Amino acid sequence: MRVLLLGGTTEASLMARILAQAGVDAIFSYAGRTAAPRHQPLPVRVGGFGGTNGLTAYLRDTGITHVIDATHPFAAQMSKNALTACAKVEIPLLAFERAPWIPKPGDNWLTVPDVVNAVAALPVMPAKVFLAIGKQLISVFATRPQHEYLLRLVDSPEAPLPLANANVVIARGPFTEEGDTALMQHHCITHVVAKNAGGMGARAKLDAARALGLPVILIDRPVMPPRVIARTPEDVMTWLGHPACLGV
């Protein structure tokens, strides 16, 4: 058995520790968008594969027998490439995926299908927006320059931001409701825009928004083709045939 773990999430780092402690031959792969990623207890590969054909060749050349897709729920292209490549070389793939967030009593969420609709859902009058979507898609919000934006990023921007009026906080999760409440109060936030990424470490902003009575524009996950999904490390290890190896 040789496992390719497609990472970039908290769940991927957890699986890396479990696989290493179980003695599973595995490779941890991530895109390399973060300047200082967490140390992993597995051999690490950084960067893209060159599309579906490149990933197919990599799987064949390195003798991969199983693929665990623990990428971010919004990394749809990578996940689709993995599905196609695994089908070509006839090896099994499992998506280790966070369950999406669901609203709790008191939440004021507007769910939208994509980032374009999130921009359209913002008010016309100037607002103070906590733009909690990472850095890849923030340029779309430049069409609403009347707003003041708060960005929370893992790394400092290497180039000028495409937003005319933005404040940046550099921080790495997991975050807390108390911390995010204080952050939003300090910046007088009136609206929150977030992706429905799921997981516990990033939910704090939603809990803080509920506590402060703020509206949240929540972007739905991309639609994926049918695939086998696991929600827990136990399910992943059972799929691999190592149900007893769960010490972390």
Residue 35, pLDDT > 60, answer no
Q: For residue 173, what pLDDT is reported?
A: 78
Cβ atoms of 38 and 13 closer than 8 Å:
yes
For residue 53, give the amino acid letter.
N
Q: What angle do CA 150, 151, 153 make, to 5 degrees?
A: 155
**Percent of the chain having pLDDT more than 90?**
72
Q: For residue 202, what pLDDT is reported?
A: 82
pLDDT band at 245 (very low <50, low <70, confident <90, very high): low
CATH code of 3-99+223-240, in short, is 3.40.50.720
Burial 123-150 (b: 16+ CB within 10 A, else e): eeeebbbbbbbbbebbeebeebeebbbb
CA gap 202, 176 in Å, rounded: 8
Q: Which pLDDT tens digit goes with each residue over 19-29?
A: 999 999 999 99
User: What is the layout of strands, in order, in the sheet containing 109-112?
Assistant: 109-112, 216-219, 191-195, 128-132, 148-153, 166-170
For residue 144, give the amino acid letter.
R
Residue 69, pLDDT > 70, answer yes
Neighbours of 241 (CB within 10 A): 10
CA gap 85, 110 in Å, rounded: 36
Q: For residue 156, what pLDDT is reported?
A: 84
CATH code of 109-219, in short, is 3.40.50.720
Q: Residues spanned by CATH 3.40.50.720 within the chain? A: 3-99+223-240, 109-219
Neighbours of 21 (CB within 10 A): 13
Comparing 32-46, 117-131, 201-215, 232-246, which segment has the lowest mean pLDDT?
A: 32-46
Cis peptide before 157 (omega within 30 of 0): no
Helix then strand then coil, in percent of the chain rounded to 5, is 30, 20, 50
Q: Which pLDDT tens digit goes with each residue over 226-239?
A: 999 999 999 999 99
Q: What angle do CA 198, 180, 112 make, to 5 degrees?
A: 45
Q: For residue 244, what pLDDT is reported?
A: 61
Tokens of 121: 């859902």
Q: For residue 159, what pLDDT is reported?
A: 81
pTM: 0.85
Q: For residue 248, what pLDDT is reported?
A: 47
pLDDT band at 243 (very low <50, low <70, confident <90, very high): confident
Q: Which pLDDT tens digit goes with each residue over 102-159?
A: 999 999 999 999 999 999 999 999 999 999 998 888 999 999 999 999 999 888 887 8
Cβ atoms of 114 and 219 closer than 8 Å:
yes
Reference 242, options 2, 26, 23, 9; nearest CA is 23
